[in-house]
Chains A and B, each alone.
Chain A
Amino acid sequence: MQQKPIFLTILDVLSIIGLGVATYFALVYAPTEAVMGNVQRVFYFHVGTAWVALVGFVLAAVSGILYLVTKDMKWDRFELAAVEVSTMFFFITIVLGSIWARPAWNTWWTWDPRLTTAAVTELIYIAYFMLRAGIEDPEKRARFGAVYTLLGGISAPITFMVIRLFRTIHPVVIGNASAAAQGGFDMTPNMLTAMFIALGAFTIIFIDLMWHRIRIGALEEKVEHLKLKVSM
């Protein structure tokens, strides 16, 4: 068996430290928001997890295209890792958002464009796992998975544009908010620092998890090959 790369171990340690530091900055360092109070602290991890999840979905669509062009299984492993890790992070984003929305909007959930798009995106990638589970041939599984991530990656932004026709109350903290947004706030420099530290920490954790998942994928494939050899 291959040794675990030393750099991966370093990354593991960095991830744990990063999570600790980001937690400190979100819970202690960042000032309490004047109107919403402590619940606003959820925001730092909400943005952090959302950021890596969206990066992961884009990476998945790109590696899907790369697989279709090159037919190299390493891109399939990369795509699966990206979708798996991102689906988990996106789920955390939605849960954290709900926790914040309860006091801020007085509801756990509302059919706002961002929330709806998030829910639909999450469903697309759950369907992706069901699609993969239904196919035995690894090569066909890779092909269909790549096609579906591509479709999902194109459809999600259009979903967002369509649902925006309805209405939005999701605050836009960076950039221009719509007049109807509720629960927006202006960030002080300390808040910005905490947000960027959370972004950085989750980026490291994301890379770490991706690497682990790709490594597991490669090992899985090896085990399959060995099993075939033994049974022959």
Chain B
Amino acid sequence: MTQPSPSFLKAVFAIARKDLAAEFRSRELLSAMLVFSMLVILIFNFALELDVKVRQSVTAGVLWTTFAFAGTLGLNRSMAVEKDRGCMDGLLLAPVDRSAIFFGKAVSNLAFMLLVEAIVVPLYAMLYNETRIFQWEFIGVLLLGSIGYIAVGTLLSAMSVQTRTRDVLLPILLFPVAVPVLLASVKASGGIVAGLPLEEILTPLNLLIVYDVVFLAVSYMVFDFVVEE
């Protein structure tokens, strides 16, 4: 184990940059996640009949469900790519701390998820004339929720990709463990959209931060056991 040193950070960003560069050349993953997100919102539109009154209470829920589903697509794909072409073995052979691989993958997964959110949120706002989601607090909750979701998602996708059932298994493993982060995010962002004072959303916000810190730390500690051969 090494202390977080300049070379550790360099390794993290090298892995993240590799993923981002590959993605910006092919744009396979981002386009899939985006189209999928739009389709989920379309289905919600008719399933819930998103008229003005309903929208008041379900905006946060619809957005978070969409991001959770699109997130699993991205997580599955980003690990499957490493596994299929044998890149994972190459990464593991690299003379860097293995947790650098975890953080590198987490950074690129987070970047994809945030990019999707950055496109879907304005689109949602435009489609439903919902300008209340353009608030700093709302964006903060999006960021905190995505960090927690991606932290545990990156770890679990590294596990599920090594099993027989692969892609099918990830949501089954991820959703029950990620329930707290999704519910706290829905509660907090719902409160912001409804215009509640900051004190009232402080509890879910604190729980989100607790979840993020705890699961980043735990994932960092156990990632070694997941990739070891």
Contact = CB atoms under 8 A, between A and B. Distances in A.
Interface of A: 68, 120-121, 123-124, 127, 130-131, 134-136, 140, 143-144, 146-148, 150-152, 154-155, 158-159, 161-163, 165-166
B207 A158 contact: yes
Given A151-B152, A159-B179, A161-B207, A143 B218 contact: no
A131 B160 CA distance: 8
A144 B226 contact: yes
B215 interface: yes
A131 B215 contact: no
A143 B158 CA distance: 13
Nearest to A152: B177
Nearest to A139: B228
B184 A162 contact: yes
A131 B165 CA distance: 9
A163 B203 CA distance: 11
B180 A135 contact: no
B183 interface: yes
A63 to B, nearest CB: 15
> Which 8 residue pairs spanning A and B have beta carbons closest together?
A134-B163, A158-B180, A124-B176, A134-B164, A123-B176, A134-B165, A155-B177, A162-B180
Nearest to B223: A147
A154 B180 CA distance: 11
A134 B170 CA distance: 12
Contact of B183 (A121, A131, A136, A162): A162
A140 B162 contact: yes
A107 B106 CA distance: 43
A165 B172 CA distance: 25
A143 B225 contact: yes
20 contacts: A68-B225, A127-B172, A127-B176, A131-B169, A134-B164, A134-B165, A134-B169, A136-B164, A143-B225, A151-B152, A151-B215, A152-B176, A154-B214, A158-B207, A158-B210, A158-B211, A158-B214, A162-B184, A162-B204, A165-B187
Contacts of B228: 143
A135 B183 contact: no
Interface residues of B, number: 34
Nearest to A137: B162
A134 B160 CA distance: 9
A120 B165 contact: no
Contacts of A134: 163-166, 169
B159 interface: yes
Nearest to A125: B176
Nearest to B186: A162
B222 A155 contact: no
Contacts of B207: 158, 161-162, 165
A135 B163 contact: yes
Given A68-B225, A130-B169, A154 B163 contact: no
B180 A155 contact: yes
B32 interface: no
Nearest to B203: A165
A121 B166 CA distance: 22
Contacts of B175: 123
A147 B215 CA distance: 12
Contact of A147 (B183, B187, B225): B225
Choose among B177, B178, B204, B207 the residue with the greatest number of A CB atoms under 10 Å from its CB: B177
Contacts of A158: 180, 207, 210-211, 214
Contacts of A120: 176, 179
Contacts of A152: 176-177
Choose among A68, A127, A136, A152 the residue with the greatest number of B CB atoms under 10 Å from its CB: A127
Contacts of A131: 159-160, 163, 169, 173
A103 to B, nearest CB: 29
B149 to A, nearest CB: 12
Contact of B179 (A135, A140, A144, A155): A155
Choose among A120, A134, A151, A165 the residue with the greatest number of B CB atoms under 10 Å from its CB: A151
A144 B164 CA distance: 13
A148 B183 contact: no
B218 A148 contact: no
